[in-house]
């Protein structure tokens, strides 16, 4: 498989799952400023101009983070990263994947940011925090008494949520009144797969007020 990614972007989540499931894969870094990769025009790979994109072993191109995560889970069912279809855990995982994608991910991306990145002005940061704070608080309450979102076991939505807590750190919002999410973020950073991915991707694009 081939993962098109940008350091620290939402593509971090499928990158983590690729390490967790032990699949052979190739990384292709995308420059989101110029919309290019080593092979040329990234828009020829994904016309939406963002990451992640996964090229499967049979040459299909899959986009949208939550969809890629579920695809990776079903390619290696023995890892139990997504539950059996129609079980209670499966639907809980699907609800969290969609909640993170629609209520958190998209609200982290301010329409007033400069470039194809996280908010990088004072006003855009304030706007983003006002939107994500109550949504983060909902998940925080769940994680105060649990290590992971579903059945207290690591699964696909946890990889996606880690992107969000990592963005909290990058934007220097901190974890005030978010003890459950801070605990979750710290324990995710102890997972060997996460450590390998962070080392592979390196420092993400800088965020500076302008």
* Structural tokens at position 40: 């040329």
Task: Using CB atoms within 10 Å of the CB of residue 138, give its burial: 0 to 12 exposed, 13 to 18 middle, 19+ buried.
Answer: exposed
In contact, 158 and 193? CB cutoff 8 Å: no
- Nearest by Cα to 2 from 20, 16, 15, 21: 15
Domains and CATH numbers, the chain: 2-79+195-201 (3.40.30.10), 88-191 (1.20.1050.10)
Residue 95 or residue 116, greater confidence: 95
In contact, 53 and 62? CB cutoff 8 Å: yes
- DSSP letter at 206 equals P
pTM, two decimal places: 0.95
CA distance 157 to 181: 14
Residue 122 has what pLDDT?
Answer: 85
* Residue-wise pLDDT tens digits, 145-172: 999 999 999 999 999 999 999 999 999 9
The upper half-sphere exposure of residue 51, i.e. CA atoms within 13 Å in the direction of its Cβ, equals 28
Q: Mean pLDDT across the chain, nearest whole number?
A: 94
- Nearest by Cα to 22 from 193, 201, 149, 204: 193
Q: Percent of the chain having pLDDT more than 70?
A: 95
CA distance 104 to 124: 15
The counts of H helices and E strands in the chain are 8, 6
């Amino acid at each position: 498989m081939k993962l098109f990614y940008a350091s620290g972007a939402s593509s971090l989540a499928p990158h983590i799952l690729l390490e967790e499931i032990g699949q052979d894969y190739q990384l292709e870094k995308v420059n989101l400023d110029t919309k290019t990769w080593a092979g040329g025009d990234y828009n020829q790979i994904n016309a939406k101009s963002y990451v992640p994109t996964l090229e499967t072993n049979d040459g299909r191109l899959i986009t949208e983070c939550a969809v890629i995560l579920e695809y990776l889970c079903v390619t290696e069912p023995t890892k139990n990263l997504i539950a059996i279809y129609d079980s209670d855990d499966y639907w809980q995982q699907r609800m969290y994947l969609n909640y993170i994608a629609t209520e958190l991910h998209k609200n982290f991306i301010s329409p007033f940011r400069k470039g194809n990145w996280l908010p990088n002005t004072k006003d855009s940061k304030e706007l983003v925090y006002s939107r994500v704070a109550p949504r983060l608080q909902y998940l925080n309450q769940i994680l105060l008494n649990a290590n992971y979102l579903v059945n207290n076991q690591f699964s696909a939505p946890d990889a996606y949520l880690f992107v969000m807590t990592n963005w909290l750190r990058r934007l220097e919002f901190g974890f005030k009144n978010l003890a459950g999410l801070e605990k979750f973020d710290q324990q995710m950073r102890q997972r060997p797969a996460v450590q390998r991915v962070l080392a592979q991707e390196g420092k993400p694009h800088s965020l500076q007020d302008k």
